[in-house]
């Protein structure tokens, strides 16, 4: 199969290209709403659940996310519309999240109703980020007047601001009902915006060929996609588990994790410049080279996590924000470029499911390493994964050529 070359535009002639306001608003509001869905563990803790129970519930939710994401992506590809599946999942997730707030002590067949509602919510919530990114990158490539990063940075900005606001509210008042209402309200705005974009579903021009083939297996038919998934998951373990274990490091060097919130917000804001500039960097250096640069920056970031002072940790978080912003933009575009037209949403959701796998592995192994060797023991493990990830990515093209798979992206 000949992989299409991703078109990236180094400079837009207009301050706000056609469609960027609508699609930027969709992505921006969606990721702003994600912040309101980040207080499930806190809510369960306040409801009287033990740490073991909370951990078990979160693990079940992660497992359901692994299952749900590829299913949603496959449906989106068959319908040729990530937008329609996104609307359905947003509506159901919003209703279930709001229902969770009203479960109280209600039981069904002797089981707390909350333990049934939250996994159902997780099933519909888990595919949302991958579907949103898939819709955004496909739209950006079809429109050709703006890049994915030009949309995605609004999501990082909105998420960071909302995390700060809700963090202060929850600290003072606890996880009250307003968090659940806010999630539904923001998702309602996203749904309205998606309905306004109803003319932008994927054209049916390629549906004739391989129409009956499973879109998940079709996505995995790409050699370079399968190799990249290995590299992607190795990178995602330290990326997605950093916020879980960074407080332990802060306690070791300062005696308190009070600076954690400020560091996470700082990291989130540092993602914005590279998300905005990612399209131009990919146009100038090629997607693979830019992606390699982002992954290499993670090695530098991990090195600073061994610092014995908060200043070094702040540098690490700065580098993490820069590298993660670039990595998100490059990885999404790279997956889009190396997978078949009929399976692009499936490919994004497969990658999204792997983030749940990475979180489970990272949390399990990280907990053991933190207890036995402290924070630096865990960071030795994560920097090893990042180095291995870069090596896998570097050998993928020579290996592919040797096996007769050609270039992953022409002229990249």
Rounded to whole angstroms, the Cα distance separating 286 from 139 reads 20
Q: What is the per-residue pLDDT across 351-404, written as a single tens digit (0 to 9) for each?
A: 989 888 888 888 888 888 888 898 899 999 999 999 999 999 999 988 988 888
Q: What is the per-residue pLDDT across 243-288, written as a single tens digit (0 to 9) for each?
A: 778 888 888 888 876 777 778 778 888 888 888 888 889 889 999 9
Residue 340 has pLDDT above 50, yes or no: yes
Rounded to whole angstroms, the Cα distance separating 279 from 253 reads 38
Residue 26 has pLDDT above 90, yes or no: yes
The runs of H, that is alpha helices, within 126-259 are 128-143, 148-173, 177-196, 215-219, 223-254
- Band the pLDDT of 174: cuts 50, 70, 90: low
Domains and CATH numbers, the chain: 19-202 (1.20.1250.20), 213-412 (1.20.1250.20)
Rounded to whole angstroms, the Cα distance separating 380 from 383 reads 5
Rounded to whole angstroms, the Cα distance separating 313 from 305 reads 6
Q: In this predicted structure, what is the pLDDT of residue 180?
A: 85
Question: Is the separation of the CB atoms in 38 and 243 below 8 Å?
Answer: no
User: Does residue 154 or residue 57 have the better pLDDT?
Assistant: 154
Can you state the percent helix, strand and coil of the chain, rounding each to 5?
Answer: 80, 0, 20
What is the pTM assigned to this prediction?
0.81
Hey, what are 311's tokens?
A: 């200043």
The answer to which of 55-64, 145-154, 291-300, 330-339 has the lowest mean pLDDT is 55-64
Q: In this predicted structure, what is the pLDDT of residue 100?
A: 85
CA dihedral (20, 23, 29, 33) positive or negative: negative
Highest mean pLDDT, choosing among 97-101, 288-292, 408-412: 288-292
């Amino acid at each position: 199969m000949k992989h299409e070359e991703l078109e990236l535009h180094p400079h837009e002639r207009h301050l706000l290209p056609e469609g960027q306001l609508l699609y930027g608003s969709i992505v921006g509001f969606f990721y702003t709403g994600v912040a309101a869905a980040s207080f499930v563990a806190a809510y369960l803790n306040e409801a009287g659940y033990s740490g073991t129970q909370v951990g078990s519930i979160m693990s079940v939710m992660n497992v359901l996310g692994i299952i749900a994401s590829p299913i949603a992506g496959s449906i989106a590809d068959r319908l040729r519309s990530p937008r329609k599946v996104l609307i359905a999942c947003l509506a159901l997730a919003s209703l279930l999240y709001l229902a969770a707030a009203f479960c109280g002590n209600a039981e069904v067949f002797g089981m707390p109703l909350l333990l049934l509602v939250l996994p159902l919510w997780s099933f519909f919530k888990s595919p949302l980020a991958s579907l949103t990114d898939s819709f955004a990158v496909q739209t950006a490539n079809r429109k050709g007047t703006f890049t994915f990063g030009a949309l995605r940075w609004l999501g990082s900005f909105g998420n960071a601001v909302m995390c700060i606001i809700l963090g202060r509210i929850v600290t003072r008042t606890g996880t009250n009902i307003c968090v659940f209402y806010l999630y539904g309200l923001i998702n309602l705005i996203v749904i309205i915006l998606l309905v306004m974009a109803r003319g932008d579903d994927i054209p049916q021009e390629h549906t004739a060929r391989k129409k009956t083939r499973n879109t998940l297996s079709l996505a995995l038919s790409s050699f370079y996609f399968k190799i990249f998934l290995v590299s992607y998951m190795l990178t995602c373990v330290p990326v997605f588990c950093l916020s879980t274990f960074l407080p332990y490091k802060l306690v070791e060097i300062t005696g308190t994790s009070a600076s954690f919130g400020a560091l996470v917000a700082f990291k989130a804001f540092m993602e914005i410049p590279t998300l905005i500039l990612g399209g131009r960097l990919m146009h100038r250096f090629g997607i693979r080279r830019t992606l390699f640069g982002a992954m290499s920056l993670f090695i530098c970031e991990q090195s600073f996590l061994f610092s014995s002072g908060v200043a070094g940790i702040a540098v690490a978080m700065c580098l993490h924000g820069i590298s993660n912003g670039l990595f998100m933009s490059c990885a999404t575009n790279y997956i889009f470029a190396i997978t078949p037209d009929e399976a692009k949403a499936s490919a994004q959701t497969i990658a999204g499911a792997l983030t749940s796998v990475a979180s489970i592995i990272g949390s399990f192994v990280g907990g053991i390493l933190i207890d036995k060797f402290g924070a630096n023991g865990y960071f030795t493990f994560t920097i090893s994964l990042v180095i291995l990830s870069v090596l896998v990515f570097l050998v993928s093209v020579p290996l592919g050529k040797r096996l007769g798979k050609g270039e992953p992206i022409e002229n990249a």
